[in-house]
C-alpha cells in the first residue's frame, strides 16, 4: 500500500521524505485520521506532491469525510487522468456519495488502465447495479471473482454464486474443502451460500471452523458477526464487532452492523448515537438516512423518521426505498407533487430493479390513499410480479408442511412426551400471519405491568431450521419428523437454549415476555415439547383483510407466497388448517384473538386474553396506545393510536380484483371467523 503513494515522488531523493509518506500510508487502515494529518503536514511543505494528495484523499475516504475527499481527488484526477489508483479512489468516493453514474465512469477508466485491480472491479459491479446496468454489473463482479480468488475451483464456485446457482456453488465448495480442509476462503464462501439460503445455523458452524483456522480473517469475522445478528445473538455479534473495530475503528460497515445489533437487543439509544455519529461524518449517504429513519421510527420519533426519509430522497431522487419507507408508515400521506415525482422516477430506464419494486408499492399506497383503487392495484400487482424473482430461493410448500405436521403431531405423540421440556412459564408467543393484528395484541399485553414486549425474535424459527437440517443439511424438510428421534433431555435442553438466546431481549424484571414472530404458528408442536408452560396466542383477522394487506406490502426478499394471489390464499388456508389441527390435538392450548372482535368490544376481548395468560385485569391494557415502548414492525404508528372501526372492511375497496385470492381461500373465506367443518 505504502508504495502507491511513495513511488510517485520523482521530485526528490530525500530518504526522510519517502519514509514520512510510507509511515503515513501504513496508518491508513488502523488510523486514517492520523494518516490524513501526516499527509496534510507533508503537503504544507510540498503542496504539489501528487502521491501525498492521493494519500490524503484515501485517508479522508476511509475516515468517512467523503465530501472533503472528493474535493481532493476530483482535481487530482484531472492532473493524473491516467493514474488508475486515483481513478479508483475517486470512483469509491463517488459511489459512497451515491453519484453512481460518475462512479461507474471513473471505475471503468480505472480498470481499463489496470485490469488487475480487483477492488475497482468489485466497486464497478456495485455502481453498475445502482444505475441499472445488470449485464455490466455481472461482468464486473465475475472479473472481481476471477482476480480475488486463489484457485480455479473457487473461481468457478464464486461465479456460480454470482449467477445465483447456489446448488452448484455448494457442490464445488464441498468437493474443494474435502480435498483441502484447511481452506478459510472456501469455508467463508460455503458459509455465504448457507446465509443466502437463510440457513444461518449452518453458516455459523462453518464460519466458526473458518475462524478457528484463520482467526485474523477479518472479512470472515465480519460475516460471522452478521450471521450472529440474524440468529438473534446480538451480544455475541457486538463482541465480534468490537474486536474488529479495535483494528479498524472507522469502518462504517462494522459500526452500522453494531448499531443494528444494539437495536436488536433493545439498546436503541446507543444505536441512534452511532447513527448520529456516522451521519455527521457522512451526511451525503441516502441509505444511512433510511436506516436512521427506521431506527427513530421504532422508538416513536415519527417526525424524525419522516425527516430522515426525506433527506434520503433529496440526496437521491431515484431512491425507491426511501419512498417505500414513507409509504409503509401507514399514517403518512403523499402530496400530488410526490406522486408525480414517483411516476417520473419509476419510469426511468436507469434505476435498479429494487428501486423499481419500491416505487411500485409506494405508488400503490399513494394512489390508494386518494381513492384511486384500480390504478393502485395495478401498481401493487406490478410490484409483486417484479419482487417474486428477488425473494428467497427456497420457500417450503405450505401444504407439504401441513401434511407432515399433522402426521407427526398426534394426540398419542404429545401424550408420550407429556412433562418434557423446560418448565419456565415466561414466554408468551403471538403467532399468525403478518398483518393480522398481532402487533396490536402485543401492544395490549405489553401494557400490563407483568409483561414485557420484545420483538419478532428469530430464535425458535432458527431452531426449527437447524433441527430440519440435522439429518440432511441440504434438505431442511426433515422437520418436524426429526422431533420423533429426540428424547426428553434434548427437549429440556432446547427449551433452556431458547430462554438463554432470548434473555438479552429482556430489559426489565417483569416475569413474562412476548415473542411475536408470526411464522411461529408452524412451531406450536415444538413449543409444546420444549416449553409446555408457555402461552400461545393466535392473532387472526378476516382472510381478505390479512391477505390483501400482505399483498400490498413489500417484504423485501421474503415471503414469496405473498407475491401471488393464488399462493397467498392457499398459504392462509393451510395456516387455518394447521391451527385447527392443533385445536383438536391440544384442546385449549392456543388462545385465539379475532381482530374484528377486538375492534367491536376491546374490553371483553382484553379480559379474555388476560384470563388465558393468568394475569389480573389492568386498565392500562385498554389504553395500549399510551405505551411508549419500541415497536419494530410496519404497524408501529397504528398501534400508537386508538382503534378505528372504519378500517375493518378496507379490503372491500379492492374486491373487484381479488378473484384468484378468493378462489384460493375457498371455504375458509365463507366460514370466517369459524373454520370449515
Separation of alpha carbons 578 and 522, rounded Å: 8
pLDDT bucket at 640, cuts 50 / 70 / 90: very low
pLDDT at 8 (0 to 100):
47
Answer yes or no: is pLDDT of 321 > 50.
Answer: yes
Residue 135: the pLDDT is: 87
- pLDDT at position 3 over 60: no
At residue 242, the pLDDT reads 96
Alpha helices in 199-267 (DSSP H): 200-213, 218-230, 234-247, 252-264
Residue among 368, 296, 283 at smallest CA distance from 325: 296
- The DSSP code for 645 is G
* pLDDT bucket at 9, cuts 50 / 70 / 90: very low
Question: Mean pLDDT lowest for which of 173-182, 472-481, 573-582, 598-607?
Answer: 472-481
HEC states along 533-599?
Answer: CCEEEEEECCHHHHHHHHHCCCCCCCCHHHHCHHHHHHHHHHHHHHHHHHHHHCCCCEEEEEHHHHH
pLDDT in tens, 24-70: 788 888 888 898 998 898 888 888 899 999 999 999 999 888 889 99
**Is the pLDDT higher at 213 or at 130?**
213
Q: What is the pLDDT of residue 300?
A: 81
Through-space distance between the first and last CA atoms of the chain, rounded to whole angstroms: 72
- Across 363-381, average pLDDT: 97
- Kindly state the cell numbers that stand for 615: 394475569
The whole-chain average pLDDT of the chain stands at 89
| pLDDT at residue 627 in the model | 72
CA angle 102, 103, 109 (to 5 degrees): 90
Between the ranges 256-270, 274-288, 605-619, where is the mean pLDDT highest?
605-619
Q: What is the mean pLDDT of residues 425-451?
A: 95
d(CA 640, CA 643): 9
Give the helix/strand (H/E) hosting 514.
strand 512-515
DSSP states of 332-396:
----HHHHHHHHHHHT-SSS-HHHHHHHHHHHHHHHHHTT-HHHHHHHHHHHHHHHTTTS-S---
Average pLDDT over residues 527-536: 98
Per the model's pLDDT, the better-predicted residue between 299 and 244 turns out to be: 244
Q: For the chain, which residues make up each domain, given as ranges?
A: 317-390, 398-671
Helix/strand/coil for 321? helix
Residue 64: predicted pLDDT = 83
The band of 367, judged by pLDDT with boundaries at 50, 70 and 90, is very high
Residue 132, classed as helix, strand or coil, is coil
Residue 280 confidence (pLDDT): 75
Q: How confident is the model at residue 462 (pLDDT cuts 50, 70, 90)?
A: confident
Sign of CA dihedral 540, 544, 547, 552: negative
Q: Please state the separation of Cα 202 from the chain's center in Å.
A: 18
Query: Which of 195-204, 246-255, 404-413 has maximum average pLDDT?
Result: 404-413
Please choose, from the candidates 416, 431, 435, the residue with its C-alpha nearest in 3D space to the C-alpha of residue 550.
Answer: 435
> How confident is the model over 584-598, as a mean pLDDT?
96
Q: What share of the chain is helix, strand, coil (3-state, %, to 5)?
A: 70, 5, 30
Helix or strand holding residue 453 (H, E): strand 451-455
| pLDDT reading at 288 higher than 60 | yes
pLDDT at 6: 57
> What does the pLDDT read at residue 353?
86
Kindly state the average pLDDT of the residues 503-528: 94
Which residues, other chains included, contact 83 with Cβ-Cβ below 8 Å and sequence gap of 6+?
50, 54, 77, 113
**655, burial (CB in 10 Å: exposed 0-12, middle 13-18, buried 19+):** middle
Nearest Cα neighbor of 381 from 545, 554, 544 is 554
Please provide the CATH number assigned to the domain covering 398-671: 3.40.50.300
Residue 354, all three cell numbers: 429494487
Q: Mean pLDDT lowest for which of 267-276, 300-309, 334-343, 495-504?
A: 267-276
Q: Which residues, 6 or more positions from 321, have their beta carbon under 8 angstroms from its beta carbon?
A: 287, 290, 312, 354, 355, 358
pLDDT at 636: 45
Cα 227 from Cα 219, distance rounded (Å): 13
What's this model's pTM, rounded to 2 decimal places?
Answer: 0.78
Name every residue whose Cβ is closer than 8 Å to that of residue 614 and which is 6 or more positions away in sequence.
535
pLDDT at 629 over 60: no
Give the range with max mean pLDDT: 305-319, 471-485, 553-567, 616-630: 305-319
Q: Which three cell numbers stand for residue 647?
A: 378500517
Amino acid at each position: 500500500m505504502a508504495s502507491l503513494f511513495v513511488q510517485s515522488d520523482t521530485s526528490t531523493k530525500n530518504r526522510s521524505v519517502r519514509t514520512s509518506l510510507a509511515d503515513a500510508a501504513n496508518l491508513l487502515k488502523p488510523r486514517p485520521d492520523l494518516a490524513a494529518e501526516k499527509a496534510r503536514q507533508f503537503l504544507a511543505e510540498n503542496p504539489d506532491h501528487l502521491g501525498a494528495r492521493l494519500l490524503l484523499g484515501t485517508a479522508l475516504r476511509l475516515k468517512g469525510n467523503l465530501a472533503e475527499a472528493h474535493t481532493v481527488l476530483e482535481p487530482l484526477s484531472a492532473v493524473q487522468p491516467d493514474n488508475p489508483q486515483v481513478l479508483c479512489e475517486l470512483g469509491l468516493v463517488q459511489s459512497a456519495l451515491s453519484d453512481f453514474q460518475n462512479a461507474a465512469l471513473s471505475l471503468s477508466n480505472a480498470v481499463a488502465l489496470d485490469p488487475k485491480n480487483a477492488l475497482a472491479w468489485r466497486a464497478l459491479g456495485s455502481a453498475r447495479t445502482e444505475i441499472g446496468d445488470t449485464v455490466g454489473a455481472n461482468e464486473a463482479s465475475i472479473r472481481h471473482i476471477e482476480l480475488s480468488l486463489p484457485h480455479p475451483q473457487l473461481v468457478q464456485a464464486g461465479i456460480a454464486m454470482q449467477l445465483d446457482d447456489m446448488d452448484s456453488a455448494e457442490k464445488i465448495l464441498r468437493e474443494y474443502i474435502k480435498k483441502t480442509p484447511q481452506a478459510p476462503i472456501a469455508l467463508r464462501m460455503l458459509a455465504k451460500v448457507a446465509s443466502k439460503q437463510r440457513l444461518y445455523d449452518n453458516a455459523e458452524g462453518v464460519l466458526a471452523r473458518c475462524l478457528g483456522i484463520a482467526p485474523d480473517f477479518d472479512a470472515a469475522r465480519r460475516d460471522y458477526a452478521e450471521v450472529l445478528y440474524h440468529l438473534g445473538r446480538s451480544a455475541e455479534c457486538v463482541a465480534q464487532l468490537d474486536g474488529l473495530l479495535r483494528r479498524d475503528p472507522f469502518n462504517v460497515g462494522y459500526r452500522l452492523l453494531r448499531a443494528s445489533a444494539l437495536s436488536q437487543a433493545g439498546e436503541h439509544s446507543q444505536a441512534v448515537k452511532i447513527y448520529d455519529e456516522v451521519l455527521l461524518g457522512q451526511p451525503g449517504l441516502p441509505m444511512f438516512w433510511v436506516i436512521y429513519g427506521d431506527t427513530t421510527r421504532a422508538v416513536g420519533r415519527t417526525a424524525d423518521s419522516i425527516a430522515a426519509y426525506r433527506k434520503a430522497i433529496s440526496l437521491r431522487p431515484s431512491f425507491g426505498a426511501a419512498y417505500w419507507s414513507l409509504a409503509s408508515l401507514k399514517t403518512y400521506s403523499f402530496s400530488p407533487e410526490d406522486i408525480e415525482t414517483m411516476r417520473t422516477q419509476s419510469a426511468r430506464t436507469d434505476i435498479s430493479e429494487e428501486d423499481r419494486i419500491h416505487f411500485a408499492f409506494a405508488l400503490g399506497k399513494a394512489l390508494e390513499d386518494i381513492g384511486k383503487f384500480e390504478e393502485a392495484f395495478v401498481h401493487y400487482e406490478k410490484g409483486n410480479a417484479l419482487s417474486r424473482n428477488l425473494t428467497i430461493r427456497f420457500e417450503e410448500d405450505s401444504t407439504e408442511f401441513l401434511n407432515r405436521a399433522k402426521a407427526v403431531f398426534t394426540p398419542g405423540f404429545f401424550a408420550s412426551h407429556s412433562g418434557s421440556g423446560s418448565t419456565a412459564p415466561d414466554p408468551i408467543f403471538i403467532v399468525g400471519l403478518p398483518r393480522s393484528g398481532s402487533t396490536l395484541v402485543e401492544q395490549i399485553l405489553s401494557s400490563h405491568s407483568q409483561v414485557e414486549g420484545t420483538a419478532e425474535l428469530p430464535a425458535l424459527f432458527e431452531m426449527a431450521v437447524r433441527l430440519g437440517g440435522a439429518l440432511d443439511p441440504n434438505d431442511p424438510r426433515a422437520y418436524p419428523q426429526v422431533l420423533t428421534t429426540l428424547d426428553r433431555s434434548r427437549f429440556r435442553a432446547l427449551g433452556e437454549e431458547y430462554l438463554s438466546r432470548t434473555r438479552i431481549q429482556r430489559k426489565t424484571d417483569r416475569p413474562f415476555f412476548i415473542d411475536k414472530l408470526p411464522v411461529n404458528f408452524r412451531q406450536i408442536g415444538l413449543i409444546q415439547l420444549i416449553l409446555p408452560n408457555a402461552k400461545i396466542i393466535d392473532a387472526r383477522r378476516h382472510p381478505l383483510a390479512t391477505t390483501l394487506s400482505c399483498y400490498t406490502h413489500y417484504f423485501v426478499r421474503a415471503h414469496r407466497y405473498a407475491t401471488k394471489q393464488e399462493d397467498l390464499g392457499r398459504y392462509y388456508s393451510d395456516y387455518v388448517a394447521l391451527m385447527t389441527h392443533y385445536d383438536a390435538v391440544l384442546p385449549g392450548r392456543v388462545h385465539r384473538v379475532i381482530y374484528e372482535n377486538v375492534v367491536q368490544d376491546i374490553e371483553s376481548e382484553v379480559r379474555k386474553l388476560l384470563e388465558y395468560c393468568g394475569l389480573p385485569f389492568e386498565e392500562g391494557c385498554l389504553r395500549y396506545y399510551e405505551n411508549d415502548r419500541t415497536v419494530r414492525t410496519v404497524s408501529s404508528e397504528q398501534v400508537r393510536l386508538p382503534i378505528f372501526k372504519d378500517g375493518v372492511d378496507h379490503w372491500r375497496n379492492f374486491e373487484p380484483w381479488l378473484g384468484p385470492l378468493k378462489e384460493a381461500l375457498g371455504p375458509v373465506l365463507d366460514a370466517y371467523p369459524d373454520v370449515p367443518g
